[in-house]
Amino acid sequence: MPASPFFAILFFLMLLALGLGSQFALTDVPITSLTELFPKLRTKRYLAVIVTCTVSYLISLPFTCRGGIYLFELLMEYAANVSMVVVGFFEVYTVAYIYGYNRFMNDVKMMLGKRAAQYYLFATWCIISPLLMLIIIVTKLISAEPMINKEGAGFEKYQYPQWSTILGWFIFIGCIIPIPLVYLVSYIKEYQRLGLQQIAKPIGIESDNHLHEGNNYLEKPRYLAAITENNSPRFDWGPKKRINQYGIYAHLAETPTDYTNPSFHTETRMSEHDIDDSDRKF
């Protein structure tokens, strides 16, 4: 092949760029999550980087052993193939139905000046993608059976034992359980917060709900109000640029943005009367 060394160099540079890009994505996601979960780490980001890289290194050590390929295939099947589809379903459902498709498209219009590809996104995010992912998940659950590694790449044919299927489903549960668990914990905290607000409310005629329009959370049972508040964006959620802080984001222009202060990161949610019900739905 003419100029084969040149194309060989390009090929390996491509592999290097691909590997670095994947590595940055795989490490930056947990690092950003840690800094969001623990605001104090924002000024000490290097600690989050050290913890993430150390834990990732220790987890990857078993894959270097003689049986590492079998563990790798098991994790690929249950931690990547199945779990990622479930995580993707929750992501699409959250954007389309909890945050709200209409609200998302309004954010796109604020940034781009138009509701770009709104019909395509409505069809794919609100209808096609959730249905397809549900079908894939159910099909995968029904057709679950012990894995078989075919012969090749220097390895003989190997059929996984029955207990590997149980182990695989534990891996699967471990990957997706944080989603409902974190939501449940957040809901309980929101439920308790609303209860404390109700208890702390002054007793008297003036404190009646029908005399105070701001007490929207009392217009429905507390367990339903907690769901509404828990599904609402946090108070400091919105555009960073002042020029875009208008409409439902107007409160950001009047609020100090000391995000590094731990006291700022409370369980504050955007109040229900600041969010149009049509924004939560499509």
Same domain membership, residue 55 and residue 38: yes
152 & 209 share domain = no
**177 near 185, Cβ under 8 Å?**
no
Average pLDDT over every residue of 7-29:
87
Q: Which of the two residues, 216 and 54, has the higher pLDDT score?
A: 54
Residue 3 lies in a domain: no
In this structure, what token pair is assigned to residue 43? Answer: 């000024």
The whole-angstrom separation of Cα 230 and Cα 189 is: 9
Query: Is the pLDDT higher at 122 or at 158?
Result: 122
According to DSSP, residue 65 is labeled S
Model pLDDT, residue 256: 56
More confident residue, 277 or 63: 63
CA distance 164 to 74: 8
Do residue 113 and residue 75 come from a single domain? yes
pLDDT at residue 120 in the model: 92
Number of domains making up the chain: 3
Quick check: helix, strand or coil at residue 222?
helix
Please check whether residue 207 lies inside any domain of the structure.
Answer: yes
Q: Which domain holds residue 156?
A: 67-176
Instruction: Kindly state whether residue 10 falls inside one of the protein's structural domains.
Output: no
Whether 11 is covered by a domain: the verdict is no
Q: Are residues 95 and 48 in the same domain?
A: no
> Look-up: residue for tokens 């139905």?
97
Quick one: 143 and 208 in the same domain?
no
Q: What is the pLDDT of residue 54?
A: 92
Mean pLDDT of the chain: 79
Between 213 and 140, the higher pLDDT residue: 140
Assigned token pair, 161: 């034992």
131 and 165 together in one domain: yes
pLDDT for 159: 83
Residues 159, 201 within the same domain: no
**Which residue would you say has higher pLDDT here, 20 or 214?**
20
The residue from 64, 87, 121 where one domain ends is 64
4 located within any domain: no
Please indicate if the annotation marks 22 as binding a ligand. yes
Q: How confident is the model at residue 1 (pLDDT cuts 50, 70, 90)?
A: low
81-107 per-position pLDDT tens digit:
888 888 889 989 988 988 888 888 888
Last residue of a domain, one of 64, 90, 121: 64
In a domain, 8, yes or no: no
Please check whether residue 2 lies inside any domain of the structure: no
The pLDDT of residue 135:
92
Whether residues 111 and 142 share a domain: the answer is yes
Inside any domain, residue 9: no
Does 18 carry a binding-site annotation? yes
- At 264 the pLDDT is 46
Looking at the structure, do residues 197 and 100 belong to the same domain, yes or no? no
CB–CB of 263/240 below 8 Å?
no
Average pLDDT over residues 37-63: 88
- Given a cut of 60, whether residue 205 has pLDDT beyond it is no
Structure token digits, residue 117: 């590809």
pLDDT value for 58: 92
- Say yes or no to pLDDT of 80 above 60: yes
- Confidence grade of residue 128 (pLDDT, cut at 50, 70, 90): very high
Is pTM beyond 0.85? Reply is: no
